[in-house]
Structure 1
């Protein structure tokens, strides 16, 4: 994965200085292609994600799809300690089940120690991420 500035890391947020991590983001589903958005809506109800280090779920009475990211941050050093393999191995496993564009966003969030990521048609447009439709 190419090195880009991670839009999930808020450098002006005091919580990072105090060690208070595990934030939550609700971002616009427009950061996904239409095909990717449709696919995760279906996968959230049917996919087995037990070995992928995330759980996905739909939100009742909403079009949003949520992800609970497990064992963050997803960086090589941490993943090797807790899983016995690095990020590239995890990413390959995840992309067998989910669209690469979704996994790319989950990885960016997990590298910033985000615990919950919600894709919502009415969510926040996160500067620095591609926007397909919103």
Structure 2
């Protein structure tokens, strides 16, 4: 089965980076996660220990949004192996063990593979074309 292009890469292709220290930020709709995952994520953002998960998650005051500051991008086997000594599946297993859902991990992985630095997931945001939607 052919893999679809990464929607985060498609969205950034019209905006070439002019400086190697710049990374994109995205705000996407919470509808890109199943409703149960979104509810669980809101609790995890305040309680999860993300020190070894290659991101920090946080809530935004006066908003229902959840933000992620993503580290060690791009999340590829080669890059993670060079930096941390393990591959992407090991990182994803660590994230799952901390309670993050498969869909949340998938969205974070796609963003990290496109070198997104900040990802905000907000119920009031727009959808990202090419990223699956769930009924919320």
Shared fold (TM-score, shorter chain, > 0.5): yes
Segments of 4+ in structure 1 off by > 3 A? 17-21
Q: What CA deviation, in whole Å up to 9, does each residue of 1:37-85 have, x standing for no partner? A: 0001000001101111111000000000011101111111110111001
1:77 touches 1:86 (CA, 8 Å); kept in 2?
yes
RMSD: 1.6
Match of 1:34 in 2: 35
Output the CA distance in 2 between the equivalents of 1:27 and 1:96: 25
Query: Gaps spanning 5+ residues in structure 1: where?
Result: none
- 2 CA distance for matches of 1:90 and 1:127? 26
Number of corresponding residues: 132
Shift of 1:8: 0.3
Matched residue SS, 1:5: coil
Gaps of at least 5 residues in structure 2 are none
Q: Counterparts of 1:1-134 in structure 2 under 5 Å?
A: 3-9=3-9, 10-15=12-17, 19=20, 21-97=22-98, 98-133=100-135
Alignment TM-score, normalising by the size of structure 2: 0.90
The change in CA–CA distance for 1:87 and 1:104 in structure 2 (over 3 A counts) is: same
